[in-house]
Structure 1
Amino acid sequence: MDKEKKMIGVYDYTVILTYLSTVSGAIGIIITMTGIGHPYGGTLFLMISGLLDAFDGRVARTKKNRSDFEKEFGAQIDSLSDLICFGVLPASIGIAQLRVNGAFKDVIRGSMNTAKGWTVVILLSIAAFYILSALVRLAYFNSTAAERAEQKEKLGVEYFTGLPVTTAALIFPLTLIIHYFTRADLTFFYFWMLFLVGMLFIGNFKIPKPGLKVICIGVVIGLFEFIANIFILIENI
C-alpha cells in the first residue's frame, strides 16, 4: 500500500479549488492578525478565496463517477473552508482595521482608557457574533441539504435560506474601498457591516441559488474590487 492510500480524505481535482481557497483564507488571517500585513492584504486573499469558491462545486461535478463518500466529503470540506475564508477572515480584517487605521490604534497597543476599552470590547464582540452567525448559517445549510434537493425537484429552482456566506468576498472589499476613497475612518462602519451581514446570514428569507450568469457578474465585480485593492495596498506599503 502506498503512502497516499494511508491518508484519510480526498485529494483529487474535485477538491483542489476548495483546498486552495482554504489556504488563501488562512494566509489572509495570518497576515491580518499578526501585524506582518495590512487589512487590504487580507482583503485580497478574501477575494481570491471567493473566486476559487465560485467554481469549486462546478469543477467537482465534472467527475461523473464520484462515490457517495466523495460527494459528502466535498460538501463538508466546502463548508469548513467557507467558515475560515468568509467567517473568520472578514472578522480578522476588521480587527486589523482597528490596529492599523482605526481610532483605537493606541488601545490595541495597550494604552487605553475605560471608554475606549469598552468600545473595543463591543467591536470585538461584533466580530465574534459575525463568526458565530457564519457558523450557524453553514450548519443550517448542511442540515437542510435533503430538503433543498426535494424542493429543487418539485420547483425546479434551488433556494438558499439567509444570505450565503460567500457574499462576504464582495461586500467587505467594497467596504474597504469606500473607506479608502472617502478618506474618512470608517472602522465603525466596517463593524456595523459585520453585524448587519451576520444578521442576514441567519435571517429566515429565501434567495434563489445564482446561476452561471450571476456568478460571472460577481466575478467581474470582484475583479474590479481586486484591482482597486491592489493599488490601495501598494500605496499603503
Structure 2
Amino acid sequence: MDKKQRLHLLGVYNYTVILTYVGMLFAFAGIHFVFSNNDRSFILALLCLMVAGLMDMFDGKVASTKKNRTPSEKLFGIQIDSMADIISYGVFPSLIVYKLAIGDKQYPVEHPWQARIVICICALYLLCALIRLSYFNVDEMERQNQTSESRHEYRGLPVTSVAVVLPAVFIASYFMGNSRPPINTATIFLLIMAIAFITPFKMLKPHLIGKIVLILIGLVELALLLLGKAYCVPTAEKDPSIVFENKATIQEIETKSEEAF
C-alpha cells in the first residue's frame, strides 16, 4: 500500500453512496424519536422511516450512473447498502413496535405476557431481515460475476417494504378512531413481513412506473400523517395513558374530568 492510499479514509465517499449514508442517518434520527418523549415523536419516527425508504429507492440507480467504478467500489456498495438496510429496515422498525410493547411511565404495559410475545416477534423480524440481507449480498455478488445486466426481480419480500407498510398500519389505526397505538396489528404485520423476507417467491423489481407509484403512496401517507396529527406522545397535562391525540379520546377525557367536578 502506497503513501497516498494510507492517507485516505477507509470506505468510499463519492456520490454513489451518499444516499445510502443519508438514509442510514435518517434511520438513526428516527430511533432517537422513538425513545424521546417529545410531542409528535412517533410521527417524526415514521417520517424518518419513509425518508430512509426514499433514499434506498434511488441509491442503486445513482450508483449505476458512475461508469468507471472499480470492482472494490461495487463490492463496497453492495455491502454498505445491506449494512445500512439492517439498521434502517431491520433494527429501526422493530424498535418502533418494541417501544410500544415495553411501555413507559406515560404508557404502562397492560398485559406483560402480551409484551413478551411482541418482543419475541420483533426479535424474529430482525433475525429474518438479517438473514435476507446476508443472502441477498451473496446472491448479488454471484449474479454480478455472471452478468453485467441490472437485476429484474427479487426473491422474497425486500426489507424496504416496511417503510410503506408500517406507516400505513399506524395511519389506518388512527383514522379508524383507535385511541391506542396498533400494537397487535403492527406486530402481526411484522410477523408476516418476517416470513415473507425469507420465503423464496419471485417479485418483480419496480422500475420507473413502479417507483412513481410508491412515491405517490408515500406522499399520501405523508399527508395523512400530518393531517391526522396522530401518534402524539402525551404531555403532563394529558392523560398519561394516551399516545394518540385522537379527538374522540380527548372528548372522552374532558367529559370524565367534568363529571369528576
Shared fold (TM-score greater than 0.5)?
yes
Q: Identify which range, 130-139 or 202-211, moves more after superposition.
A: 202-211
TM-score by length of 1: 0.86
| Aligned counterpart for 1:199 among listed residues 195, 202, 210 | 195
Counterpart amino acid of residue 49 in structure 1: A
Tell me: CA distance 1:162–1:152, structure 2 relative to 1, closer, same or farther (3 Å).
farther
Q: 1:168 aligned to 2:162?
A: yes
CA offsets 1:56-88 (integer angstroms, 9 cap, x no match): 111111111111111111111110111111111
Counterpart amino acid of residue 144 in structure 1: D
State how far apart, in whole Å, the 2-side matches of 1:77 and 1:120 are: 33
Match of 1:142 in 2: 137
Q: 1:84 aligned to 2:87?
A: yes
Counterpart amino acid of residue 171 in structure 2: I
Aligned residues: 227
State how far apart, in whole Å, the 2-side matches of 1:47 and 1:196 are: 20
Structure with the bigger percentage of helix? 1
Match of 2:176 in 1: 182
Match of 2:16 in 1: 14
Match of 2:124 in 1: 129
| Aligned counterpart for 2:42 among listed residues 23, 39, 43 | 39
State how far apart, in whole Å, the 2-side matches of 1:39 and 1:181 are: 16
Q: 1:30 aligned to 2:25?
A: no
Q: Is the 8 A contact 2:101 2:118 kept in 1?
A: no
State how far apart, in whole Å, the 2-side matches of 1:190 and 1:138 are: 22
State how far apart, in whole Å, the 1-side matches of 2:53 and 2:60 are: 12
Give unpaired runs (5+ residues) of structure 1.
none
The structure with more radius of gyration: 2
Q: Is the 8 A contact 1:21 1:48 kept in 2?
A: yes
Tell me: CA distance 1:151–1:216, structure 2 relative to 1, closer, same or farther (3 Å).
farther
Match of 1:224 in 2: 220
| Aligned counterpart for 1:95 among listed residues 85, 95, 98 | 98
Q: Percent identity?
A: 36
**1:157 Cα deviation after fit:** 6.4
Q: Is the 8 A contact 2:43 2:230 kept in 1?
A: no
Q: Secondary structure at the match of 2:108?
A: helix
Q: Is the 8 A contact 1:39 1:96 kept in 2?
A: no
**1:236 Cα deviation after fit:** 3.0
State how far apart, in whole Å, the 2-side matches of 1:229 and 1:94 are: 17
Q: 1:59 aligned to 2:62?
A: yes
State how far apart, in whole Å, the 1-side matches of 2:151 and 2:92 are: 31
State how far apart, in whole Å, the 1-side matches of 2:128 and 2:42 are: 22
Q: Is the 8 A contact 2:16 2:66 kept in 1?
A: yes
Tell me: CA distance 1:14–1:49, structure 2 relative to 1, closer, same or farther (3 Å).
same
State how far apart, in whole Å, the 1-side matches of 2:73 and 2:221 are: 34
CA offsets 1:109-160 (integer angstroms, 9 cap, x no match): xxx7xxx222111111111111111111101111111454588779x96321
Tell me: CA distance 1:151–1:119, structure 2 relative to 1, closer, same or farther (3 Å).
farther
State how far apart, in whole Å, the 1-side matches of 2:185 and 2:143 are: 35
Tell me: CA distance 1:153–1:19, structure 2 relative to 1, closer, same or farther (3 Å).
closer
Q: Identify which range, 84-93 or 19-28, moves more after superposition.
A: 84-93
| Aligned counterpart for 2:209 among listed residues 203, 209, 213 | 213
**1:97 Cα deviation after fit:** 3.2
